[in-house]
Structure 1
Amino acid sequence: MKLPLIVRSRSAVRSLKSFFPILACISFITVLLLNSFSPVMAQLPRQEIRGVWITNNDFNTLRDRAKVQSAMTQLRELNFNTIYPVVWNSGYVMYPSAVAQRAGIQPFVFRGADGHDILEDLITQAHRRGLLAIPWFEFGFMAPPTSELALEHPEWLTQKRDGSETSISAAGEVVWLNPFHPEVQQFITSLVVETVTQYNVDGIQFDDHMSLPHEFGYDPYTIRLYTQETKNRPPNNPNDEAWVKWRADKITAFMVQLNQAVKARKPNAIFSVAPNYYDFAYKFQLQDWLAWMRQNIVDELIVQIYRPDLQSFVSNISRREIQEAQQVIPTGIGVMTGLRNRPVSIQQIKAQVRAAQARGLGVTFFYYETLWDSAPEPANKRIAGFKSLFPNPAFRSALQSGN
């Protein structure tokens, strides 16, 4: 009885042996496929930022529906993927705002040519062409001293140790809303939440003015708050390390709350920040954006590096904090394309963009009008230059732009 079993077993073994080469081949192919899939997934690049800031200086374009359509079409054809339109500038908003009106600011100052809501039109036209629209709170805590906001709410302003309330900025003489004052925090938060609620935005952006120059913070409210918390009066030296850190930490705490307010209304909104390089931002503007990033409240970082000298530009975009950021979030560099009184050549722009791209960084240009309309070279030469920088599309999705 055992013999037939042995014969059958030997026959089965011979049969199985004939399959070994096939099984080995299948295993080998499986291993190759698994090994090939893993690195591909790991090496997928973060979404590349190709953006442009649209400022008050672009108002002649913004107020005209046909010009907006043409502008968005051209940006798409040149393979841009993001616009950052200004919504908060000089103490005014660029849309009809109940929050601003309650604060004593004239409603809807910046209307389109036919009385339309320019922000709504801009967002609609951008989305039709596959561009992300991330409104930009350009002035942050900054406002002109003669603005309705400053005149209506003097108690919201902070001051220097000598009692003065103004500083000189790129926008001229300005005052600073006190970022530590609860009413100021509520006002800014309400404006931001109103924007992300009222419009189909892909995110919201804050730049280097969501900060405070280090000389400020000597107003009665802040002195009282600091004294209560530390049992000491603020140091006379505005650069005192503990005093700098206390104020920077307060701004960080507010930004955490602001992020939570935005995400509560629109969880997939991109919380974007566009500061100066870190050492300057922290020491001179009390803006600890590295802490913001490490606390996971920043979905996108664009560092402003406005340097005409290429060596200085490259040195600044190679900083360790930028390298740290690009490991976790889409990261780009702010590149100057010119000011009305300071044109920038297309050669300089191309050199800087190439340097950023070589380091895996995106770019955002300041600002739209100087891309090609107000520039030292003919428009066709500028347009050809941008086309050479972005020969292929790089689409972005708000849903995938966070951590």
Structure 2
Amino acid sequence: MRYFILFLCCFFSYSLQAQAPHGAIRGIWVTAQDSVLDSKTNIQKAVENCKKAGINNIYVSTWNRGRTLYPSAIMMERFGVAIDPRFGKRDPLKELVEAAHAEKIKVHAWFEYGFASAQGDSGAYLLKKYPYYAAIGPDGKGIEKNGLTWMNAFHPLVQNFVKSLVLEVVKRYDLDGIQGDNRLTAAPSLAGYDAYTLAEYKKEHGRLAPPINHLDSNWIQWRAHRLNKFGKDLYQSVKAAKPNVLVSMAPNVYPSSLQEYLQDWPSWLREGYVDYVVVQLYSYKLDEYEKILKETIQQVGSKKGQLYAGVLIGLEDGYRAKPELLKGMLELNQKYDLPGELFFYHAALPKSGKMLKR
């Protein structure tokens, strides 16, 4: 009997690992606008709050509004500004990694802005110096979407720039992972009408130009495939630099992720160039949350163990999820056997922390 029980324990342990290879993640996003990174004291307090709330993974904004939130040799060389000026000579990323690891909390560098260069005038200097970095729409003009100005995610020089930032933090810091979202690997579906991308398309289509209709299904797929290739290269490059660093992405729900941002993230899971996805299941109503959760589970199929829920607990405009809504969303995640969730965002944690524990 003793050996049978031992066998069962090993079996269930193996089954859990096979179903959720990266374990139970209880994560939270820390944005650049949060005050967490403003001082070493704030960082320590935030880590303590996370520990009390049962958070075991922190995803910290590392690239935001055209600035790095760590001293970057690449940004210094190209633009003469090594770090967001508000941090002076500090290294907030290093400070957070040290504080979190001391409490056995993992840290992921979240490239929050991805291929978005600016919000307002914040990162406009990037495109002023390198105009060909700009994403171009069917009207021949630069693209702004949801208040963000976008770089050309299809141009190899822009891809190499973003990849170089990712690899810089992977090589320099003791990180547990890196993460992109609906801006990495992504581009607005309006993008792709720049000279480089048009020439590439014409080479493969007998010199025919792509449709003016940016939502044409074949044109959508062609551009999504281009981004998939970059995503695969990014994944392989990170693993080559440090095999144990996890690569995760936090896209929108599918298929709107494909229609809006050319993100065919179910294929990333199928083809194995992302370790897990955290789908932004942001909702203000419980029945709506369950609906999009079930639809998302259908999209991942056998890769369900690599699916985590992105749960909205607060916004900068003051919104906070009500306790009954938050409790209901966590119960649904358990009901459908998700291995964990990430909460957006840390500023909502002091009021919601106790409710985050399953």
**TM-score normalised by structure 1 residue count:** 0.81
Give the 3-state SS of the residue equivalent to 2:136 in structure 1.
coil
2: CA distance between counterparts of 1:346 and 1:33? 40
Residues 314-393 of structure 1: pairs in structure 2 closer than 5 A: 314-319=290-295, 320-327=298-305, 329=306, 331-344=307-320, 345-361=322-338, 362-372=340-350, 379=351, 382-386=352-356, 389-390=357-358
Cα distance, 1:383 vs. partner?
A: 3.6
Q: What is aligned with 2:193?
A: 218
Q: Does 1:48 align with 2:24?
A: yes
Aligned mates of 1:237, 1:385 — CA distance in 2: 46
Q: CA–CA distance in 2 between the matches of 1:105 and 1:91? A: 13
The unaligned stretches of length 5 or more in structure 1 are 1-28, 373-378, 391-403
Residue in 2 that maps onto 1:278: 254
Give the CA deviation at 1:31. Answer: 8.0
Q: Which contiguous aligned blocks of 4+ residues in structure 1 show a shift greater than 4 angstroms?
A: 110-113
2:36/2:43 contact within 8 Å kept: yes
Give the Cα–Cα distance (whole angstroms) in 2 for the partners of residues 96 and 105 of structure 1.
Answer: 11
Is the contact made by 1:95 and 1:119 (CA closer than 8 Å) also made in structure 2?
yes
CA contact (8 A) 1:94 1:110 kept: no
Whether the aligned pair in 2 keeps the contact of 1:203 and 1:270 (CA below 8 Å) is yes
Q: Does 1:74 align with 2:46?
A: no
Contact 1:83 1:133 in 2 (8 A): yes
Counterparts of 1:195 and 1:166, CA distance in 2: 28
Q: 1:312 is matched with which residue: 288, 306, 330? A: 288
Paired AA for residue 162 in structure 1: D
1:156 aligns with 2:130: no
Deviations 1:134-176 (A, max 9, x none): 010011111226322121111111211111213231xx2x222
Contact 2:266 2:300 survives alignment (8 Å): no
Question: Identity percentage over the alignment?
Answer: 32
Aligned length: 345
Q: Greater CA radius of gyration, 1 or 2?
A: 1
Once the two structures are TM-superposed, the CA of residue 213 in structure 1 deviates from its matched residue by 1.2
CA RMSD of aligned residues (A): 1.9
Tell me if the contact between 2:247 and 2:274 (Cα under 8 Å) persists in the aligned partners.
Answer: yes
Task: Tell me if 1:109 matches 2:109.
Answer: no
Deviations 1:2-31 (A, max 9, x none): xxxxxxxxxxxxxxxxxxxxxxxxxxx588
Of 237, 251, 257, 1:261 maps to: 237
Quote how far apart the aligned CAs of 1:198 are.
Answer: 0.9
One-letter amino acid of the counterpart of residue 154, structure 2? F
Assess if the C-alpha contact under 8 Å between 2:74 and 2:82 holds in 1.
no
* 1:32 CA displacement: 3.8
Pair 1:208–1:105, CA change in 2 (3 A): farther
Distance 2:279 2:353 in 1: 24
SS in 2 for 1:303: strand
Matches of 1:97 and 1:38, distance apart in 2:
45
Contact 1:105/1:149 (8 A) holds in 2: no
Kindly indicate whether residue 166 of structure 2 is the aligned counterpart of residue 192 of structure 1.
Answer: yes
Measured in 2, the distance between the counterparts of 1:30 and 1:310 equals 45
C-alpha distance in 2 between matches for 1:273 and 1:280: 16
- What is the TM-score with the length of structure 2 in the denominator? 0.91
Which range moves more in the overlay, 284-293 or 33-42?
Answer: 33-42
Q: 1:354 to 1:30 in 2, by over 3 A?
A: closer
CA distance in 2, matches of 1:34, 1:369: 44
Counterpart CA distance in 2 for 1:109 and 1:57 is 12
Contact 1:61 1:68 (C-alpha < 8 Å) held by counterparts: yes
Equivalent of 2:277 in 289, 301, 318: 301
Name structure 2 gaps, 5 residues minimum.
Answer: none
In structure 2, the residue corresponding to 1:271 is in which secondary structure? strand
Q: CA 1:302–1:109 in structure 2 vs 1: closer, same or farther (change >3 Å)?
A: same
Query: How far 1:272 moved relative to its partner?
Result: 0.5
Q: In the alignment, what sits opposite 2:98?
A: 124
For 2:70 and 2:4, how far apart are their aligned partners in 1? 56
Query: Is residue 205 of structure 1 aligned with residue 179 of structure 2?
Result: yes
Q: Which amino acid aligns with 1:121?
A: E
Aligned equivalent of 1:36: 8
CA distance in 2, matches of 1:369, 1:82: 16
Task: Determine the C-alpha separation between the residues in 2 that align with 1:87 and 1:99.
Answer: 14
Render the CA deviation track for 1:214-249: whole Å, top value 9, x for unaligned: 111111111111101222211111111211111000
Q: Which residue of 2 aligns with 1:84?
A: 59
Distance 1:110 1:87 in 2: 14
Between the aligned partners of 1:48 and 1:158, the Cα distance in structure 2 is 38
Shift of 1:77: 2.4
